[in-house]
Amino acid sequence: MSFVSDSDWRKWGEIDPYFGVVSFEEFKAERIAGNRERFFATGRREIHTAMREISARYGDVAHRRALDFGSGVGRLALPLAERYDAVVGVDISEAMIAEARENCRDAGVANAEFVLSDDGLTRLDGSFDLVHSYIVLQHIPVERGLALTAQMLARLAPGGVACLHYSLQRTLPPARELVYALKHHVPGGRIAMNLLQRRAWDTPTMQMNNYPLARILHLYAEHGLEDVFITPEWQETALTARVYGRKKA
């Protein structure tokens, strides 16, 4: 069972954007001021990893326009803007977008813009040399996330590269599985668990969804992506992967 995740993300953007992006205690609203450099360093590392894989496999690819889907506070758009002529971030949360714009202003980055997301990605124009997303689709129900994947792949320029990240499998210890099920699938469960865990009653959740790899690979093939490869990443209790591919030139 899955349900709409957008209202939760709008709330994370409003109450605790940096923790919403990387859920470490040190990035909570009350601590982020002293830890901003560490926060943004995590983003530089993620983009370094993606770029290293892309150039090792595909060699010299075009670096005109990059799309970062689910751009949050701009953690990944900022390092992408050092490597691409123009970066477009899309996000479902206005508050995240406002924070990303401010972070770009503070960093003197003028080649990144941020627009509000919708399921048709209707605010995007043109094509992209990179479509990128990291730790986003896992929070979106699977059918919707696959449709968004198709939208992104359709916007790739000839020779353009996709680097999209998915959760594939998650195994929680039984007690945590129970808490997750209560919070996500039982009416009133989220409020009850928030109160039990001494949090504000309306603290939003982060749903986690596991994607079927075969369907992702079919989508890549249908959209003309070749030389597809996967880099698995274990994240706590989840097996996740970045799925790379390059559109026929």
Cα–Cα distances (Å) from 174 to 171, 177, 180, 181, 206, in that order, read 9, 5, 10, 10, 18
List the x/- string, 136-165, binding to ligand SAM by CB under 6 A. x--xx-------------------------
Distance of alpha carbon 115 from alpha carbon 17, whole angstroms: 17
Instruction: Note the maximum CA span of the chain.
Output: 55
Closest approach of ligand SAM to the CB of residue 154, in Å: 16
One of 19, 27, 134, 244 touching ligand SAM (CB under 6 A): 134
- Region of 66-74, 153-161, 188-196, 235-243 interacting with ligand SAM (CB under 6 A): 66-74
The smaller minimum CB distance to ligand SAM, of residues 115 and 157, is found at: 115
Q: Are 42 and 96 in contact (CB under 8 A)?
A: no
Distance of alpha carbon 78 from alpha carbon 73, whole angstroms: 9
Q: Are 217 and 45 in contact (CB under 8 A)?
A: no
- Region of 84-92, 156-164, 193-201, 214-222 interacting with ligand SAM (CB under 6 A): 84-92
- Region of 54-62, 72-80, 106-114, 216-224 interacting with ligand SAM (CB under 6 A): 72-80
Return the closest-CA partner of residue 247 out of 133, 131, 135.
131
The smaller minimum CB distance to ligand SAM, of residues 45 and 248, is found at: 45
Judged by the rule CB under 6 A, the positions of this chain that interact with ligand SAM are: 5-6, 9, 13, 20-21, 43, 70-72, 75-76, 90-93, 96, 117, 134-136, 139-140
